Structure 1
């Protein structure tokens, strides 16, 4: 068993060292191999309670991987970090234990198909349930090496996950065959085959990159980075003061040709009535600024609320504040133009524990109003069903107002594009995690959305890294972490839909089908 634990430690380290933004993604192609060897050793041994041994071996590997890559949650809350690491590692371990269950009952040709299928089914599930945390979905591993994955416009990140699993299983079977035969020819042929399987997608990607032509139509954009400390400053500044500060940041750099000024998530953080915002003084300040320029729109994040005076709970997301009644809170984006009515979008992918009470109907009666503080304002927030798009007055430009955490969800982002968005406007606040890998990974994942949709990205961050990213996923301009200022540039306007935009996570859906069929077959075979 000691050897199995050593192999698990090696797997955890390899997967962690493959991760952006410091890692080498080639290691992801062999990251699972030691763990697979450990599982095979346990399965074919005379140990009692093999399933328990596989469980703890896998948990060791996954807790190492999770800890090294996402330890930075500590800066928002130590408890939240321990909870996230423990639960995400547990979920991965359950998936691997299901593989062990199937491997005991079915031949290798079947159970080695089941493994990538059940893993990708898990990743798809992890994108959509209440405890969603897809930060370590395998396809994200290549976010710093976008020259390798231009074909994500056809597959999305699940294409990357499938690629990683094909190579891991190929290397694993090569090692097993060599151990059984001691034939070096088998080893050399296996290595050559797997090197070729790594090289072919990269060559295809380079071909796509060389021949890809970006749209010639462009929008001029200024990004604002106010660099407000969310722990000590943000909620002490009135919305009127903040609006004036944003205008002051923008004034020296905007021109008559500027199409958009974009400010970060919850830049106006003091709380504003969603029903009265268009008459608020902070909105008037922004509108007066916009009216001085012929083509300008102003996008910013706003912390909204809606008040319900009645005694009964009006919505499932409402929060109760004693004599003041019920409130719904919204993390929103608004577009202020020359029209008196601003466009609004309400964030719909919420951070677990901060903005979303998971399984509220079930857990609230048992636990009361308990939230896990993973950084930010702890309150249940409301969402909207569809993705809104912010159009310019002439309808030429259409911004996808993606708010923070939403930018790590590939198929979710395609919803904006299907509704007409021709560039991605990401507004975020990455200050919660200090100057760690957290905010760097968050920026890096935005590069994947650019390739999947072939849409340029304009990313405004408060104390993060504001950036422009082109349709190829290349970062063209940045404003450094912890810097206050503005960043002006251009983004291309692309109205075409990629294969991935049209069909989404089809690889994951097929994986769910295959995994379910194989699992049922394994259960039925056990009964026989």
Structure 2
């Protein structure tokens, strides 16, 4: 038992280290092989336990930064998130007990299927997809324009199975060579495809945008006088952006820690500045709506304020962070609303919004929303020519989470072949072109103003047109394999 626990810890921690910011993505190809080894020839119940311990250690090592935001919420999330690999390991073992070959076929399919299905649940937290371990290998992940990030994840999972088959299962020498060559060729094929696809030079952009990184900490932002400091900081950065001919400046999530649209004095002062500088401001704001007598609902929102007589456009965040911005199922079960784990009390926005910047349309993703490939693709499918991500990752302190979050935007750019403008209160802020190439990346916990000429997208990708076709195929095949195993277990199939 002690040996198993040590191997579980080694596998889980190595796998977590494969994720940003450590640039150890190659580790993801072999660290889960230890997990497969531990699951070999065990009962399904034991497989569930192994998967749960592995999932707990992995998620704690990956998401320790959430402790800065909420300690109870972190442990609540870990308890729930660990159920996913536990359930996957349990199903894998049930199928493998029926047929070891079928079990190995199932492994990469079920992990990819759950990566996808996880985006729809009340506990939707698609943070640990293995594709993100490869985010620093830009040519290798260009296949995402066809498959979404799921194609990269599936490839990594397949290599895991191939290495397990070669080194753990007793196979003939010639078969072992074939398996190892296949394991090497898979990522190599992806890499060569990317080298062919990435253009040598990037086209100069025609839409000058500025990113304002205010670096205002929580100990100041939400205290008395913090609203004035925030306002003055971003006004000064906006003036600098206007001097450099930017047509829009992006402020981060909740850059204004007050209800800007319900404060006539502050709003009119900002609108006057926007008019005088002839620059649009996209800012994160808290927003509310009265739904009854003395009853309000609150939103995490973004507002675009343009010079002239253009109306204000607003968008309220739809994808809320479980355990941090909402308690799962609290909208259905009133009793859950009374649970307080340090989370905010936001409601989901009602509909997606495309912002208009002259002749260019763009979408704004608030914080966690940039982790959802399909959600981002929907915006682009409906006409967004670039994506803006505004976030406030200061809550996660000097941890790895701000870097993990930032690397996700690289996939969103490649998947949809659109530029991404990312603005974070304390970093990481950056510009990403349609091929995932990063420029003007800021350091964390320093104020910064970055300006770049963005080239709005004029065409779409296969993934953008056809969506999540690959993970849906994985879901269907997974369901058939599991059904076959369960029917065989019950004696319906010989």
TM-score (norm 1): 0.87
Shift of 1:235: 4.9
Contact 1:235 1:269 in 2 (8 A): no
Paired residues for 1:77-96 under 5 Å: 77-96=70-89
Contact 1:243 1:286 in 2 (8 A): no
Shift of 1:288: 1.6
Paired residues for 1:338-377 under 5 Å: 338-339=308-309, 341-365=311-335, 367-373=336-342
Alpha-carbon spacing, 1:506–1:373, altered in 2? closer, same or farther (3 Å): farther
Contact 1:10 1:61 in 2 (8 A): no
Contact 2:385 2:457 in 1 (8 A): yes
Alpha-carbon spacing, 1:524–1:187, altered in 2? closer, same or farther (3 Å): closer
Unaligned runs of 5+ in 2: none
Shift of 1:357: 2.9
* Rounded Cα–Cα distance in structure 2 between residues aligned with 1:171 and 1:156: 24
- Which of 110, 120, 126 is matched with 2:118 structurally? 126
| Structure 1 residue aligned with 2:404 | 441
Contact 1:264 1:301 in 2 (8 A): yes
| Structure 2 residue aligned with 1:70 | 63
Q: Does 1:115 align with 2:110?
A: no
Shift of 1:168: 1.0
| Structure 2 residue aligned with 1:391 | 356
**Cα RMSD between the aligned structures?**
2.2
Describe the superposition over 1:333-362 as per-residue Cα deviations: whole angstroms up to 9, x where unpaired: 111012252011111111113322311255
* Rounded Cα–Cα distance in structure 2 between residues aligned with 1:345 and 1:134: 22
* Rounded Cα–Cα distance in structure 2 between residues aligned with 1:309 and 1:241: 33
Shift of 1:293: 4.2
| Structure 2 residue aligned with 1:205 | 194
Alpha-carbon spacing, 1:421–1:368, altered in 2? closer, same or farther (3 Å): closer
| Structure 2 residue aligned with 1:290 | 274
* Rounded Cα–Cα distance in structure 2 between residues aligned with 1:420 and 1:10: 45
Contact 2:165 2:171 in 1 (8 A): no
Paired residues for 1:488-503 under 5 Å: 488-503=451-466
Paired residues for 1:266-277 under 5 Å: 266-272=254-260, 276=262
Shift of 1:415: 1.8
* Rounded Cα–Cα distance in structure 1 between residues aligned with 2:215 and 2:96: 52
Q: Does 1:188 align with 2:174?
A: no
- Which of 434, 445, 453 is matched with 2:416 structurally? 453
Unaligned runs of 5+ in 1: 43-49, 311-324
| Structure 2 residue aligned with 1:335 | 304
Shift of 1:71: 0.9
Contact 2:356 2:362 in 1 (8 A): yes
| Structure 2 residue aligned with 1:228 | 216
TM-score (norm 2): 0.93
Higher alpha-carbon deviation: 261-270 or 348-357: 348-357
Alpha-carbon spacing, 1:382–1:58, altered in 2? closer, same or farther (3 Å): closer
* Rounded Cα–Cα distance in structure 1 between residues aligned with 2:280 and 2:28: 43
